[in-house]
Amino acid sequence: MNLVLFGPPGSGKGTQAERLRNKWKLRHISTGDLLREAVAAKSELGQRVESVLASGQLVSDDIILGLMRDAILAVKKDATLSGWLLDGFPRTVGQAKGLDALLAETGSRIDAIVVLDATRDAVIERLSGRRTCTQCKTVYHVKYNPTRVDGVCDKCGGKVVQREDDRPETIARRLDVYEAQTRPILAHYEGRVATNVIDGDLPVDDVTAKIERVLHSPGGRTAA
């Protein structure tokens, strides 16, 4: 089974991706991981990535699609995996069209799209309440998972802070980008790929249960 997971920042994609990966024996493919792996491998493509990142520029869609191609082909050769899960890609309609061509080239397809449709207020509350340890990177939340001592990590005693990208004004900008660039991708796949919209404001376990239900159901667009 090959899946694409969509949703705004803070909708719970990371948690659900991990659960989907384990249950369905999927390779979780994220652009960030692909870039880091390419640089570490020191491949020809990895050297290009390293050069681009060192210059402070954005990695081109062509490079990202090249890494995606290699990852998808690797999954097809791995008998321990039943498919892949794309998280954070495609981000634009242009990338979606590039992915279409790549899948045609590799003889692959997207079997289903899962959209975690969280409200703006819920996302801002989740992300703005996050706090991260500067040393061990453990993540807390001021409301749902606070530290025992304010500002001090329970695990290592390090300083716990709010990351810059978790500030409300930054979150608002990220949500605006998602609405302008990423949400229109769903229209690109309309009528071609089964799209399942899940209420991302629900508790984590309820979201997981709804995803599992729609993935076991016959194809077609649903809302849950």
Catalytic residues: 13, 91, 130, 163, 174
Question: What is the spatial order of strands in the sheet that 130-133 belongs to?
Answer: 139-141, 130-133, 160-161
Interaxial angle between packed helices 204-216 and 13-24, expressed in degrees from 0 to 180 and rounded to the nearest 10: 50
> Of the candidates 5, 7, 31, 32, which has an alpha carbon nearest to the alpha carbon of residue 19?
5
**Rounded (10°) CA dihedral 133, 178, 110, 103:** -100
Residue 149's φ and ψ, nearest 5 degrees, are: -115, 125
